[in-house]
Structure 1
Amino acid sequence: MKLRVPSLVELHAFLAVCRVGSFRQAAEDLCVTQAAVSRAVQRLEEHLGGCRLFDRSSQGVLLSERGRQFRQLIEPHVVALESATAKFMEPRAPGKLRLSVIPTLGTKWLLPRLPHFQARQPSLDIEMRQFRHDEDFIRDDVDVWIEVKRPRRRWPAHLQVTYLMGRDIIPVCAPQVLPRLKQPADLMREVLLHHTNFPDNWARWANMAGLPGEPKLGPGYDLSMNLIFAAKEGLGVAITQPCLIERELQNGELVVPFALPVSTGRGYFVCTDKNRPATAGQLAFIAWVQDEARATSGA
């Protein structure tokens, strides 16, 4: 019988380009060359009778209408195959825990606390794996993810997702900026630093503070770490989650001009694959990190 199904190499290449909108980035995610991804997609298009799956332009790579239809048909099944394979494979080593944590939260909040967890679990070998901004959560080299809820993006159906912390945001600034800020309206005369992935944060806060009009945004940063550093240097007023600036607040490098936390409805979440049996180390870490998050939120 002649097989009509394309190879998984071709399907994975196609879906990777769908997720990130770039042949180059898809190649990096798949650990292959860009030429290999291009050839795989070309073979797939030929296999489908010369169907054009992507529209290429100076703005990037966009799915064609036929490409969109094909993705809807195959993606759930490819994900199911990945999950079934991971589930069938031998259980993960009970003495190892592999984490993927969004960078600023990992550096500023988790890593300073991690020695306390390791003291509780001295036989557990903890590995920090590469964080991917366009994570598909089908990797078999990660046991626990800590991710931010992104706008207009749903969690995959195979994930067990639990809120951790970080929904609230507050304005922060260097101490030398504070004397200029007598009331919330004074912020509108300052340089408003923002995270480029969440440009609506200032508007949310201004609306809750009862400020009229749309805030005029200043420089944007694609990493919270850089946003925090810019605020420490007095380049403007930033808006961020309190859990990311604990040390800066304790040291007096940053101050909160107005203690008015505002919820974004997003925050950080602990994610695991519910189709894979949990190890004792995984369960112990999740319980511990949730306790730490509750303590942080209470403080």
Structure 2
Amino acid sequence: MNPLPPLGALRAFEAVARLGSVVKAAESLHVTHSAISHQLRTLEGFLGLSLFLREGKKLLLTEEGRIYALRVRGALGDMAEATQRLQSCPKPHDITIGVVPSFALHWLLPRLPDFKAKYPQYTVNLRAGLGFEDMSNGLLDLAIRMGTGNWEGLQQQHLMDETVLLVAAAHFMPRPQTLAEVQTAVVIANPAIQWTSWCQAAGLADWRPKPAYTYNDSNLEVEAVRLGHGIALSRLSLVSAAIEAGSLVKITEIEVPYQYPYWLIWPEKSSASRKLADFSAWIIGQANDFVNGRNS
């Protein structure tokens, strides 16, 4: 004997128990009232007991029915979540990439058309987020993250180092021309970027800026600079395209290393993946071109 009742009967029962009405359950499941009533009779026949007390047109759950409804609701929820996770897993020709939002916006997005031109068979899905997403759930093929490396249970490839530099909008006035003028300029700060190393490299070891604005999001910081609100220390990967386009300018030529490099990481089980090999080779090449360009 099959120990499980029909799924349709369970769905109908859960809907009636949750909504308190055959009419509402039928509307929720887009079936007729008679279909719901039939499913309830089927389930009660399967179980050999009544799940409802019938008082005229009212249906009241028995105590056994109330407990069963809670467990059925949980089981159906688990099934829905498992189905959604399975549907969300990358398909053979999908590449799903976890990435820091600022890096995705300012560095990766402008380069993705080149990847698509070389590998038209792939669909690229970006999942932007600041958190370190668990890669054991199979929802990501790989991720681009900043950090110190040595993440347990993950394969990792150093992608590139990062530097920070002082920038302003091309139209920002008065634009500092000397280090003395830097010290009196309007400053936009980001807590993720410390000024200590830059000040030491600039010979201003005893000076620290008093920011007029502080933003804990790199995209907000870059946009505020672009709008001409002030000068800021920013990561080169986020501003290099704007500097090349002429909308942002370097205040000085001083660049200092950022404490966290970029890494390409992926689950160990994905190491033999063709799409991982294709995307890794492409993005490592892009990173090398970027680093060589800034060093030339």
Fold shared, TM-score > 0.5 on shorter chain:
yes
Change (3 A) 1:124 1:199: closer
Is residue 97 of structure 1 aligned with residue 90 of structure 2? no
Report what 2:217 is aligned to. Answer: 223
1:17-60 Cα offsets, whole Å, 9 max, x none, are xxxxxxxxxxxxxxxxxxxxxxxxxxxxxxxxxxxxxxxxxxxx
Report what 1:164 is aligned to. Answer: 159
Q: For residues 158 and 216 of structure 1, what CA distance do their matches in structure 2 show?
A: 41
Residues 166 and 233, structure 2, Cα contact 8 Å, conserved in 1: yes
- Which residue of the other structure, out of 127, 135, 143, is the alignment partner of 1:145? 143
Q: Select the structure of larger CA radius of gyration.
A: 2
Report what 2:70 is aligned to. Answer: none
Residues 167 and 233, structure 2, Cα contact 8 Å, conserved in 1: yes
Residues 165 and 269, structure 1, Cα contact 8 Å, conserved in 2: yes
Q: For residues 280 and 157 of structure 1, what CA distance do their matches in structure 2 show?
A: 23
Q: How is 1:200-279 mapped onto 2 (pairs within 5 angstroms)? A: 200=194, 202-218=195-211, 219-279=213-273
**Higher deviation after alignment, 203-212 or 272-281:** 272-281
Q: What amino acid does structure 2 have at the position aligned with 1:285?
A: F
Q: For residues 210 and 275 of structure 2, what CA distance do their matches in structure 1 show?
A: 44
Change (3 A) 1:127 1:170: same
Q: For residues 130 and 264 of structure 1, what CA distance do their matches in structure 2 show?
A: 21
SS at the partner of 1:260? strand
Residues 148 and 266, structure 1, Cα contact 8 Å, conserved in 2: yes
Offset of 1:122 from its aligned partner? 1.3
Residues 171 and 238, structure 1, Cα contact 8 Å, conserved in 2: yes
Q: What amino acid does structure 2 have at the position aligned with 1:188?
A: Q
List gaps (5 residues or longer) in structure 2. 1-88
Residues 167 and 250, structure 2, Cα contact 8 Å, conserved in 1: yes
Change (3 A) 1:137 1:209: farther
Aligned-CA RMSD value? 2.2
Q: How is 1:1-299 mapped onto 2 (pairs within 5 angstroms)? A: 93-149=91-147, 155-177=150-172, 180-196=175-191, 198-200=192-194, 202-218=195-211, 219-299=213-293
Q: For residues 149 and 289 of structure 2, what CA distance do their matches in structure 1 show?
A: 28
Q: What amino acid does structure 2 have at the position aligned with 1:252?
A: G
TM-score, length of structure 1 as denominator length:
0.62
1:102-143 Cα offsets, whole Å, 9 max, x none, are 111111111111111111111122212242424344331001
SS at the partner of 1:106? helix
SS at the partner of 2:96? strand
1:185-244 Cα offsets, whole Å, 9 max, x none, are 321212222222x142x2221111111314124122222111111111121111112221
Q: What amino acid does structure 1 have at the position aligned with 2:202?
A: A
Q: For residues 221 and 204 of structure 1, what CA distance do their matches in structure 2 show?
A: 20
TM-score, length of structure 2 as denominator length:
0.63
Offset of 1:262 from its aligned partner? 0.4
Report what 2:86 is aligned to. Answer: none
Change (3 A) 1:273 1:134: closer
Q: For residues 128 and 115 of structure 1, what CA distance do their matches in structure 2 show?
A: 14
What count of residue pairs does the alignment treat as equivalent? Answer: 204
Q: For residues 213 and 229 of structure 1, what CA distance do their matches in structure 2 show?
A: 29
**Higher deviation after alignment, 231-240 or 179-188:** 179-188
SS at the partner of 1:243? helix
Change (3 A) 1:242 1:130: closer
1:59-115 Cα offsets, whole Å, 9 max, x none, are xxxxxxxxxxxxxxxxxxxxxxxxxxxxxxxx9743221111111111111111111
Report what 1:13 is aligned to. Answer: none
Offset of 1:169 from its aligned partner? 0.7
